[in-house]
Amino acid sequence: MEKGKISSLQMAFMMYPTIVATALLGVPSITAKYAKNDLWLSPIFATLIGCLTVYIAFKLHKLYPKQTVIQLSERIIGVIPGKILGFLFLFFYIQNTGLVLRSYGEFVVDSFLVKTPISVIMASMVLLCAFIVRGGIEVLGRAAELFVPIFILPICILIILLIPDLEFKNIFPILGNGIMPPIKGAIVPGGWFSEFFLIIFLLPFLADMKKGMKAGMMTVFAVTMTLMVVNLMVLFVLGSSTASKVYPLMNVSRYISIGDFFEHLESAVMAVWIVGAFVKISVFYYAAALGTAQWLNLSGYRPVVWPIGILIVEFGFWSFPSSMDVNRNDINVFPFQGMLMQTIIPLLLLVIAVIRKKNGQNKGSSSS
């Protein structure tokens, strides 16, 4: 079905923007609502979800190598229950790809291309992603290698240029209201960290499997550090007003002014968002297309790429009537839905698989 191979480094480059891209813009304000000036601590607590999710994915892959969650579900809980669970996974990933696409379209239209129909923005992005998904996992891995430095560079430039505007006193008092506010603030980023379960669709194609676990955990660490630094930058510039902003990083970029001519660097934020959204949508899209082909027992996934693309665009419109509904979903629904589908259910699958393996070994030893 998929003949290509990727390295563990390419997998890390694919997963890093997949998590960070959408979290950069909205997470600082969402966590600030709960954690206030301790919002920089929330990604540390959310890291536990990411590490657990990566561990579960690798353990499942070790028990059932060369299989994705769509295939191993049938092996663990039976064909019919496995097909039902596989359908739920596919519905989840197609719907959430539509949600990411809708968030991308809303951001571009609201901030820059105000007179462009959002349908044009969304359809053009899916068209680009469809071509790279049809190219296969090797093309996706190489594209991620190319785009991740372009993704990271504007963030580094923004941080350096913001240094004169930083108010370090905004961080105090640390844990003034105890540890619970940053833990509550970690729930929403925890939903993003649960997306690391997508590596279950990439692990069967790793050329250097021994380095896979290390690459996965290092990616979790890199995402945590990125979110911590961005949250601190936003806090140092905006202070207590962070929670009232929809896109705090965009507001922060407007503070940059050097020599009265080097200013208005919102385009850098837009570049980060577009590059990151492209990689993220492509990875989600690939997982949905590959999983659909496996669920239907097809010999290849490329025939379903275009139909899945149409579904993604339709879900982007059907799911939420306005940008406010998209924001509410990011806060109230996605974190719990994401952790349920990508951490809790896989954990239950792993427990069942381990128990079945042990029972099988016990029966084999007793019969011998």
β-bridge mates for residue 262, sequence order: 258
pLDDT at 98: 92
Give the model's confidence band at 63: pLDDT under 50 very low, under 70 low, under 90 confident, else very high. very high
* 259 has pLDDT over 70: no
pLDDT at 318: 78
pLDDT in tens, 161-186: 888 888 888 888 888 888 999 999 99
What CATH topology corresponds to 8-349? Amino acid/polyamine transporter I (1.20.1740)
pLDDT at 364: 61
β-bridge mates for residue 263, sequence order: 257
pTM, entire model: 0.92
What is the residue extent of each domain of the chain? 8-349
pLDDT at 58: 94
